[in-house]
A and B are shown apart, each in its own frame.
Chain A
Amino acid sequence: MMQSSSAQSIVTTDDRDSALKQALARFATDASCLSVEKKDALAGRADLLHSLLREIDETILPRRLTLYFDHQVVAELTVSHRRLLSLDLTGASSPAGNQTSIAQIYAQRLRQLVLSNTGTGFRITRQPCETGIESESCSAKLLMDTLAAQQDQSHLRGFLSLVGHDAEAWIFLDSSAGQTDSSGPDALIQRLSGLAGSDAAARQRRTPTVRVPDQAPSCMVLRMSPEMRVIIAWHQSEVLLVALPAQTLDNAMQAWRGIFITQG
Chain B
Amino acid sequence: MNIAERLETIRQTTPGCELIAFGDLGTRLVLRSSAVSQPPQEYLDQLCAQADHGFGLQDALASQVSPHPDITPEVMVITAQEVRIYIRSQNADQDTASDAILCVCDCEITAKSLIDPAINLLNDLAGGA
Q: Which residues of A contact B (CB under 8 A)?
A: 191, 194-195, 198-199, 202-203, 206, 210-213, 216-225, 230, 232, 250, 253, 256-257, 260-261, 264
When the two chains form their complex, are residues B61 and A220 in contact, meaning their CB atoms are under 8 A apart? no
Please, what's the 1-or-0 string for B38-73, where 1 marks a CB less than 8 Å from any CB in chain A?
Answer: 000000011001100110111011001000010010
Judge whether A199 and B108 touch: CB under 8 Å. no
Q: Which residues of B contact A257 (CB under 8 A)?
A: 78, 80
**Docked-complex contact A218 and B64, CB < 8 angstroms:** no
Give the chain A neighbours of B77 by CB distance below 8 A. 218-221
Question: Could you list 4 further interchain pairs (A-B, Cβ under 8 angstroms) beyond the known A199-B57, A202-B53, A218-B78?
Answer: A210-B49, A211-B46, A212-B49, A222-B54
Q: How large is the interface on B (under 10, 10 to 19, 20 to 34, 35 or more residues)?
A: 20 to 34
Chain B nearest CB, measured from A66 CB (Å): 30
Q: Does B10 contact A (CB under 8 A)?
A: no
Per the bound structure, the CA–CA distance linking A199 and B49 in Å amounts to 13
* Interchain nearest-CB distance for B81 vs A (Å): 8
Q: Is B76 an interface residue (CB 8 A)?
A: yes
Most buried by B among A206, A213, A221, A261: A221
Q: What's the nearest-Cβ distance from chain A to residue B102, in Å? A: 13
B28 within 8 A of A: yes
Tell me whether B64 and A194 are in contact (CB under 8 A). yes
In the complex, what's the smallest C-beta–C-beta distance from A38 to chain B, in angstroms?
A: 31
